Amino acid sequence: MADRRVDPDDGAAYTWEEFSAFYKGKYKRKAVEEYWEECKPVKKSKAKDKAKGAGKGEPKAKAKAKVKAEPKAKAKAKAKARKPPGAFKVCVCGGAGGIGQPLSMFMALDPNVKELSVFDLNIAMVPPAGVAADLGHLDKKSEVKGYVVEVGKAAVTELDGECLKGCSLVLIPAGMPRKPGQTRDDLFKINADIAKGLVEACAKYCPEAIVALIVNPVNSIVPAMAELYKKKGLDPMKIVGVTTLDCVRASKFVGQMTGKNPNFINVPVIGGHAGVTIMPVFSQDKTAATIDKDKIEALDKRVQDAGTEVVEAKNGKGSATLSMGYAGARLGRSILAGLAGRRRVECAYVKSDITDLPYFTSKVVFGESGVQKVLPIGELNEYETTRLEAAKTALKIEIETGLKYAEANELNC
């Protein structure tokens, strides 16, 4: 298991590989190595802490830290001047739906949210104005407003610009969920058009916002929308695929298996978000790495099939909504924290060059401009190395579906 240390700059834990990749080009390797030595290892016992502290030349360490901290502190101060924390506008498209409602609630609770737009169609199970009125009574600073568009009409022309204008983050759980027997891929035809209609409106009203796509099939919709953004001259890195639920599930299942608290488990899940493309990297989490090798395949399969587990249990009445609301909000909060100058690392499905595929889920550093750095996969064991090939083979086909859609379409805005 790789040693992880906490970067005091943002309080997040990194492996050496992630850490050095992040600082590469900013500082000399030797300086990065020295800084790494100053970072506290994760979950180090107090006894060890003391022993190491005693052996260290403290004034030297402090001096180094000061020299190193300076440029970073400056960058941070600059970022903070650009965007004060706690003043972001967020929109949830499909905000009155199964995921949309809990997701809107979690976002309304985030201290970084100043204004929340809840947008949905007039056929939603609850009018978005009702969801907004309800959330508007929470004793939080966020102001919540509802927006509605008639089904069949285009958001880009019908939606009041006020809904999206000024948004820093747009979360999109709008779209059809699976029924038992369906694959996520079966949803592409209907959901790609829904996503396109909403992305079009984002391109017009808030082209600088991070657009986090929850709508399935994520593996194809994200490349489709990112390439459409690119075609329009916009930044495809603003389009982010939400795969956080896979990480949440992997950590939960590892907690159940080991009897450990999942709060302290963080299994990265790479690849994509469907079947075999969902690839938990158990070897990179300290707790998960203790699980017997012969149990890993079944655990891996459980994470891959977790969405189907919920679809079947809901028996034709939808897919994961509450756990997805929770997971989507975890990513949403991290994105806003990053925009506010407090970097966060989360797995997400984005345009990427860390493998031979153009889109891939891996750890991503979210910072002042959104996706700040796509981190490398890191070390894999033998089982994971083989699994990666299977994940990539399946993912490649689903990416191609998205790329073809982008070739055949364009954003009308």
C-alpha 174/C-alpha 151 separation (Å) is 12
Q: Which does 310 bind (CB under 5 to 8 A by kind): ligand LMR, ligand NAD, none?
A: ligand LMR
Comparison of 145 and 249: residue with beta carbon closer to ligand LMR: 249
Using CB under 6 A as the binding rule, the residues of this chain from 17 to 76 that contact ligand NAD are none
Q: Which of the stretches 54-62, 191-199, 231-239, 355-363 binds ligand NAD when contact is defined by CB under 6 A?
A: 191-199
Least distance to ligand LMR, CB of residue 351, Å: 20
What is the residue-wise DSSP string for 275-309? GGGEEE-GGGSTTGGGS-HHHHHHHHHHHHHHHHH
Taking the least distance from each CB to ligand NAD, the nearer of 16 and 326 is: 326
Our finding on whether 272 is near ligand NAD (CB under 6 A) is no
Q: Count of residues binding ligand NAD (CB under 6 A)?
A: 36
Applying CB under 6 A, the span of 34-42, 168-176, 350-358, 396-404 interacting with ligand NAD comes to 168-176
In this structure, what are the phi and psi dihedrals at residue 346, rounded to the nearest 5 degrees? -140, 150
When asked if residue 307 is in the footprint of ligand LMR (CB under 6 A), the reply is yes
Containing H/E element for 321?
none
Tell whether residue 99 is a contact of ligand LMR (CB under 6 A): no
Using CA atoms, how far residue 101 sits from 108, 109, 326, in Å, is 10, 13, 11
In the block, residue with structure tokens 């492996």: 15
Q: Which of residues 104-123 bind ligand NAD (CB under 6 A)?
A: 119-121, 123
Q: Are 8 and 41 in contact (CB under 8 A)?
A: no
Q: What DSSP line would sit under 60-117, residue for residue? A: HHHHHHHHHHHHHHHHHHHHHHHS-TT-EEEEEETTTSTTHHHHHHHHHH-TTEEEEE
**283 belongs to the binding site for ligand LMR (CB under 6 A):** no
Of 116, 212, 310, 329, the one binding ligand LMR (CB under 6 A) is 310
The amino acid at residue 173 is P
Residue 244 makes contact with ligand LMR by CB under 6 A = no
Give the residue, chosen from 102, 177, 280, 402, that forms a contact with ligand NAD under the rule CB under 6 A.
177
Whether 137 sits among the annotated catalytic residues: the reply is: no
Q: Report which of 307, 341, 330, 269 is spatially closest to residue 102, judged by C-alpha positions.
A: 330
Amino acid at residue number 57: G
Residue 319 is a binding residue for ligand NAD (CB under 6 A): yes
Our finding on whether 358 is near ligand NAD (CB under 6 A) is no
Interface map 186-215 toward ligand LMR (x if CB under 6 A): ------------------------------
Indicate whether 94 belongs to the interface with ligand NAD (CB under 6 A).
yes
Give the binding range for ligand NAD (CB under 6 A) out of 13-21, 32-40, 49-57, 319-327: 319-327
Min dist CB 22 to ligand NAD, Å, is 26
- Angstrom distance (rounded) from CA 164 to CA 229: 17
Q: Cβ closer to ligand NAD: 229 or 349?
A: 349
By CB under 6 A, tell whether 93 contacts ligand NAD.
yes
Buried b / exposed e over 367-390, threshold 16 CB at 10 Å, is bbbbbbbbbbbbebeeebeebbee
CA dihedral 251, 402, 184, 248 (to 10 degrees): 10
Q: In the complex with ligand NAD, which residue's Cβ is closer, 187 or 350? A: 187
Determine the interface stretch with ligand NAD among 59-67, 98-106, 250-258, 329-337 (rule: CB under 6 A).
98-106
Pairing assessment for the beta strands 40-41 and 344-351 based on DSSP bridges = unpaired
Q: Are 118 and 105 in contact (CB under 8 A)?
A: no
Which of 76, 145, 178, 333 touches ligand LMR by CB under 6 A?
178
- 145 is a site residue for ligand NAD (CB under 6 A): no
Q: Assess contact for 319 and 307: CB atoms under 8 A.
A: yes
Distances (CA, A) of 236 to 203, 276, 325, 350: 11, 25, 24, 9
CA distances from 169 to 27, 61, 331 (A): 31, 39, 11
Q: How far is the CB of 291 from ligand NAD (least distance, A)?
A: 24
Query: How many residues make up the chain in this entry?
Result: 413
| 320 belongs to the binding site for ligand NAD (CB under 6 A) | yes
> Residues 23, 35: contact at Cβ < 8 Å?
yes
Q: Is 184 in the site for ligand LMR (CB under 6 A)?
A: yes
Residues that bind ligand NAD (CB under 6 A): 93-94, 96-100, 119-121, 123-124, 155, 173-178, 187, 191, 194, 197-198, 214-216, 218, 242, 245, 273, 318-321, 324
Catalytic residues: 273
